[in-house]
Amino acid sequence: MSVIKWRESYNTGIEQFDMEHHKIVELIDAMFAAIRDKSSKKVVETVCNDVLSYAAYHFANEEQAMKAVNYPELDEHTAEHTRLKSEAEKIHNTITNNFPEGTVELYRFLREWLVDHIQECDKKYTPYLNKWGES
Nearer to Fe ion, 29 or 122 (CB): 122
- Nearest to Fe ion of 45, 63 (CB atom): 63
Q: 58-87: which residues touch Fe ion (CB under 5 A)? A: 62
38 DSSP 8-state letter: T
Residue 23: C-alpha distances to residues 2, 13, 49 (Å): 12, 16, 14
| Angle (CA) 60 131 119, round 5° | 55
Cα 133 to Cα 100: distance, rounded to the nearest angstrom = 41
* 20 forms part of the interface with Fe ion (CB under 5 A): no
Answer yes or no whether residue 122 interacts with Fe ion by CB under 5 A: yes
Could you give the string, one character per residue 33-62, with x where binding to Fe ion holds by CB under 5 A and - elsewhere? -----------------------------x
Distance CA 48, CA 25 (A): 13
Please, what is the minimum distance in Å from the beta carbon of residue 118 to Fe ion?
Answer: 7
Residues that bind Fe ion (CB under 5 A): 62, 122
